[in-house]
Amino acid sequence: MLSKAKTLQAVLEMQKLFPDAHCELDHQTPFQLLIATILSAQATDKGVNKVTPKLFAIYPNAHALANSEEEVVIECIQSLGLYRNKAKNIRLCAQQLVERFNGEVPRTREELVQLAGVGRKTANVVLSVAFGLPAFAVDTHVERISKRLQMVKQSASVLEVEETLCKKLPKELWGKAHHWMIFFGRYHCTARKPKCASCPLLDICAYGQKEV
C-alpha cells in the first residue's frame, strides 16, 4: 500500500487537476442537500439535479415535505431508479426531522444515520458539505481509485476505506480531499477507460502501468 506521505502526495496531485472540485448536487440548504443525497443512491448527480428543482419548489423544507402526498413526490422523482422507495424514505425522513429536530438537520453522524434513507456516506456528505465538519464520504469513485492506487487494501470494506484514508490524510483536508478524489474518479480515472497515459500518478499506479 501507499505510505501516508505518498497518499497525501497523490491526493494533492488530484487537487492540481481539479482545484475547483465541489459537491455537484444542487441545493440551497442543509435539508435540500440531505434529500438530494438520499436521492442520489444508485443515480447520477445530473439525474438528481433534474428532479430536485420541481421537488424543492413544492417542498422547500422539512415541514412541507413531511406533510406531502406520496403520489405527488413520486411524480416529481419518478425518473430516478428506486423512486417509490426513495419517495417513502424522504417523506419519512422529513417527518422524523420535524418530530425530533424541529425541522432542522442534525449535526452529528449518530443522529443523521437514524433518519430514514440515511447511511454513513450520506451523513458524511451532509456533515462535510452542509456544515463544514471533518468527515470523509466514500462513494464508488473514492473506493475505486483508492484501491487502484493502493491507498487501501483491495479487500477493504467501504468503512475500512474511510478509516484508512482518514488515518492517512490530515483532518482539515478530509472534506476537500473527498471532492478531489470524486472528480478524479469521475472525470480522469474512470471505471472503464481511465486516462492512464496522461495521468500524473502513473509512476505510483501499478494498474495504470499495465494499461499503458
Q: Choose, from 86, 139, 168, 171, the residue flagged as catalytic.
A: 139
- Residue 19 makes CB contacts below 8 A (sequence gap 6+) with none
Active site residue 168: no
SS (H, E, C) 19-81: CCCCCCCCCCCHHHHHHHHHHCCCCCHHHHHHHHHHHHHHCCCHHHHHCCCHHHHHHHHCCCC
Q: What phi and psi, each to the nearest 5 degrees, are found at residue 17?
A: -70, -35
Q: How far is CA 152 from the centre of its chain?
A: 19
CA separation for the pair 168, 175 (Å, rounded): 14
Q: Choose, from 6, 20, 121, 193, the residue flagged as catalytic.
A: 121
Active site residue 121: yes
Identify the three-state secondary structure at position 175.
helix
Q: How far is CA 166 from the centre of its chain?
A: 15
CA separation for the pair 27, 36 (Å, rounded): 8
Active site residues: 121, 139
